[in-house]
Amino acid sequence: MQNYRDNYKERLSRRLGEAVKETCESAELVNFRETDTGFYCDFAMPPINPAIFAKIAENMDALRSGTDCAHSPGGAFVPDGASEPDGAFEPDGVSEPDGVSACSPACALESFSGVYGEEGGHIARGEGASGREAPESAAESKTKAQDPAAEGDTRPDRVLQRIYAAAFESAGELEKYRLFTEESRKRDHKTLGAQLRLFSHSDEVGQGLTLLHPKGAMLRWLMESFSQAAHILNGYQWVYTPHIGRARLWRTSGHLDFYADSMYSPIAIDGEEYYLKPMNCPFHIEIYNSETRSYRDLPVKYAEFGTVYRYELSGALNGLTRVRGFTQDDAHIFCTPEQVGKECAEALKFCLYILRAFGFEDFTAYISTKPKRKFIGEPEKWDEATEILKNTAAAAGLDYRIDEGGGAFYGPKIDLKLRDSMNREQQCGTIQFDFNLPERFGMSYAGADGARHTPLMVHRALFGSLERFMALLIEHYKGAFPFWLSPVQFGIVPVRPEHAVYGKAVLARLRDMGFRCEMNGGNENMRNKIKAFQLEKVPYILVAGDKEAGNSTVSVRGRNEGDLGEMDMERLAEYLKPMAEMGKAKCILEE
């Protein structure tokens, strides 16, 4: 019997190609690529809609008869005649469907989308790719009915359409993956963002531009407040910079040469061209250059929440994770060559502290090296900087992998990826080495020898962007944020309208103690009020009736603990003190 381990995804993709051809005779398979959870195929064909997608699935089902594929329940396809080595993986608690071998690979169609931008043009010219690629998160794999024209194909009715399929070595693994994707959909930050009234997007405002509602704004304020306090306690100086800069600033920085495709069109002001900033680095450099510096002044560490603007293709936009205007928790460290190893190590230590404070523990570092084509500086300096970053990751006890050619155009970097509560790897913090921009901007300091020297520069962001990190938090916690991070910490429920006066007194007392509270004083019954706060995932619900008013207490219901009984305000505050103090920043770096 044939061993399928090395080719079952390819065989299943050919079966998909037949099913698509049955649905649309003119369709042409132009690309196939494996992913960690299956594969995708790109077809040159008329636009797919949900009805066509369902028909393709039906045809794939029909093609199983008399071929090497057998259908498993729930829309999965299982090749027959495949052998599996001894010791096959059997997921816990997932039984194989009747009549399907535990060792048979299984497949299910997931979604479809258009293919965009340079990638679309590349594939349309027939240059198919191969190999493995990291999969999109489940929250990003929803059906997208975009119809971009494929570059290189002059027929107006044909566009590149991508079909994603899940494929695993057994039906049990496929079922386990199906349950995982169902849970991921429940955690989708776009769905929860609407349910919890955190954010929205408006066609009137523009694609990729986020509107934070009051509770979303409170969540961001809590993120910012913790981060800013931590930065200041650990030796960073806070700065603010403009949203636009003159064209010559971006020419000096190299952005117009190396990054122009991601920048917006220039703005004409007084006969000069200005650009919305795609990055904050040149502004921090100009603050440094505004004074004469000595080696005794270094390191200098500037930080800000800098809003930047980068062009994203409309089809790539996704909730808070891919937007056109976003805010970075950006910092730049200027130091001497002797200090740079220590500064990189401290930047990584600080990054891990911040991320752990928000509930993440599992990290992997990716060391990104010199790009093959677009880069600034001498290869020897790139090698030296890359070695420093490798040593930094190793000293922090992090597993690291090499991302060949993945560095920024101005230097190598460490990208820190974390695993969330769904065991998904998520891009987060970055530490980027830079020998180059200080030279381009003529930065200097007086050394101990009295001569002028060029400082080294470390770019550093911990959240990556506040918007993306907010999406990550929403999905990680499924909207049920820790007490210190919850936009509303207490929901106050008067039992009847006459208890609203006491409810307001409780509200005022708790706000005076520094807590965030809301009261539902409406005329609906108590159960409905409680349910409304539960749907909003408020950590604690406080019920106020005759007994509580007489005792100057509230009846406390915890989101996780259940009924906690009656408490007065002081006892309640003492009970919650450890959870509240989790949101207080600390100094963790030595001078």
In sequence order, what DSSP letters do the residues of 310-324 get, joined into one string? ----GGG-BTTTB-S
Surface-to-core class of residue 434, CB atoms within 10 Å of its CB (0-12 exposed, 13-18 middle, 19+ buried)? buried
Which one is catalytic: 158, 277, 413, 460?
413
Known active-site residue 36? no
- Identify the three-state secondary structure at position 546: helix
CB 138 within 8 A of CB 92: no
Q: Which residue type sits at 495?
A: V
Q: Which residue type sits at 195?
A: Q
For 79, 171, 463, 500, 567, the CA distances from 66, given in Å and listed in that order, are 11, 20, 53, 72, 70
| The total number of residues written for the chain in this structure | 591
Question: Per residue of the chain (591 residues), what is the pLDDT tens digit?
Answer: 334 345 778 888 888 999 999 999 889 999 899 888 889 999 999 888 889 999 998 888 777 554 444 333 333 333 333 333 333 223 334 343 444 444 577 788 888 877 644 343 333 322 233 333 333 333 333 333 333 333 344 444 567 899 999 888 888 888 988 898 888 889 999 999 999 999 999 999 999 999 999 999 999 999 999 999 999 999 999 999 999 999 999 999 989 988 899 999 999 999 999 999 999 999 999 999 999 999 999 999 999 999 999 998 887 888 999 999 999 999 999 999 999 999 999 999 999 999 999 999 888 899 999 998 878 778 888 898 899 999 999 988 888 999 999 888 778 999 998 888 777 888 888 999 887 889 999 999 999 999 999 999 999 999 989 999 999 999 999 999 999 999 999 999 999 999 999 999 999 999 999 999 999 998 889 999 999 999 999 999 999 999 999 999 999 999 999 999 999 999 999 999 999 999 999 999 876
CB 458 within 8 A of CB 432: yes
Known active-site residue 231? no
Domains and CATH numbers, the chain: 2-186 (no CATH), 210-238+278-477 (3.30.930.10), 483-581 (3.40.50.800)
Which one is catalytic: 332, 453, 499, 529?
332
CB 303 within 8 A of CB 238: yes
Which one is catalytic: 328, 339, 426, 489?
328
Rounded Cα distance between 44 and 29, Å, is 7
pLDDT for the residue 362: 87
Which one is catalytic: 330, 415, 420, 434?
330
Strands 300-309, 28-35: pairing is unpaired
Rounded Cα distance between 368 and 383, Å, is 11
pLDDT for the residue 89: 27
Query: How many Å from the N-terminal Cα to the C-terminal Cα in the chain?
Result: 66
| Rg over CA atoms, the chain | 28
For 111, 240, 350, 468, 584, the CA distances from 227, given in Å and listed in that order, are 38, 15, 10, 15, 10
pLDDT for the residue 157: 56
* DSSP one-letter code for 261: G
Which one is catalytic: 281, 335, 344, 351?
281
Known active-site residue 281? yes
Which one is catalytic: 9, 231, 284, 459?
459
pLDDT for the residue 64: 59
Known active-site residue 310? yes
pLDDT for the residue 419: 84
For residue 540, how many other CB atoms are within 10 A of its CB? Answer: 26
* β-strand partners of 558: 540, 562
Known active-site residue 413? yes
Q: Which helix (H) or strand (E) holds 175?
A: helix 171-186
Q: For residue range 257-278, what is the model confidence (pLDDT) as tens digits?
A: 888 999 999 999 999 999 999 9
Surface-to-core class of residue 149, CB atoms within 10 Å of its CB (0-12 exposed, 13-18 middle, 19+ buried)? middle
